[in-house]
Copies of this chain bind each other. A is one copy, B any other.
Amino acid sequence: MTDQSVSSTMWPTSNLRNFMSLAVSNLAPGKRLQQKEARRNDIIEAALAEFASQGFTATKLDDVAVRAGIGKGTIYLYFNSKESLFEEVVRCTLFPGREMAESYVEDFEGTATELMVNHFRFIYGFFQNEKVPLLLAIVLAEAARFPQLAQFFFDEMIRPSRQLIQDIIERGIASGEFRASASLIHHQLLISPAVLAAIFNLQFHQQEPIDFAVYSEMHIDFILRGLKA
């Protein structure tokens, strides 16, 4: 195996599922505001579930309302439209992962190899939350007709994700762990197998589920083989 040296600092993937609720429920000034915030979260959570199972267009706001246990019109007290609700769902679901990854990479002090390994383990952990790949699939499929969403997704998710990986690669090149030509590698080369596997696992799990534990380690091993000096 190539990933021998991988060490200590593992990602606590177990609590990834609580990202969203943690992220939104800040301290609230008054009781009224607190409730409003809670209600807003209810809607986002219900919408997430509906979008994930129905796709964007096929999702009915009625169903979102029913699932959230509120009236149909209430949604419009919190969001301007179905589309902006979807954007919020994407934001709330995907942002926490990005932020955690960013701060982890920044603070990490081990070797680049270790960091790369841990970063991808984190990614796989994040994708375990089945909503994430579903949203990714929806965005990938419908981005063309929602330019605003496409821009937002590119700026806030794709670009930062690329930056992280490039940073890690640069660090590895500087330390002599990775080959110099690795700086040219497009980050999609590295991350695509994780994204697609997550999506496939959802959409085709009836046909043939992928064993993420095995798949992810093989992927990481493959990456290290491709990068090593």
Binding site for B on A (CB under 8 A): 53-55, 57-58, 134, 137-145, 147, 150-151, 154-155, 158, 184-186, 188-189, 192-193, 195-197, 199-200, 202-204, 206-208, 210, 215, 218-219, 222, 225-226
Q: Which B residues are in CB contact (< 8 Å) with A203?
A: 139-140, 143-144, 150
Looking across the interface, which residue of chain B has its beta carbon closest to that of A162? B208
Q: How many copies does the complex hold?
A: 4
Rounded to whole angstroms, the CA-CA distance of A216 and B151 in the bound complex is 25
> Of B53, B137, B158, which one neighbours A141 at CB under 8 angstroms?
B137
Knowing A143-B203, A204-B158 touch, does A210 contact B226 (C-beta < 8 A)? no
Please determine whether B226 and A154 come into contact, CB atoms closer than 8 angstroms: no
Docked-complex contact A140 and B143, CB < 8 angstroms: no
Known contacts A53-B144, A144-B55; A154 and B204 CB within 8 A of each other: yes
Task: List, in ascending order, chain B residues with CB within 8 A of A204's CB.
Answer: 143, 150, 154, 158
Chain B residue numbers with a CB within 8 Å of A192 are 192-193, 195-197
- Contacts A55-B144, A150-B203 supplied; 7 other A-B pairs, CB < 8 Å: A138-B141, A184-B218, A185-B218, A185-B222, A192-B193, A192-B196, A225-B225
The 10 A-B residue pairs whose C-beta atoms are closest, nearest first, are: A141-B141, A143-B203, A57-B57, A192-B196, A192-B192, A154-B207, A192-B193, A137-B141, A222-B226, A225-B226
Which residues of B are found within 8 Å of A197, using beta-carbon distances? 186, 188, 192
A137–B207 alpha-carbon span in the complex (Å): 18
Interface centre among A54, A210, A222 (most CB of B within 10 A): A222
A140 touches B142 (CB 8 A): no
A226 in complex: contacting residue of B188, B202, B226, CB < 8 Å? B226
* Most B CB within 10 A of own CB, among A186, A197, A210, A215: A186
B218 touching A189, Cβ below 8 Å: yes
Residues of B within 8 A of A155 (CB): 207
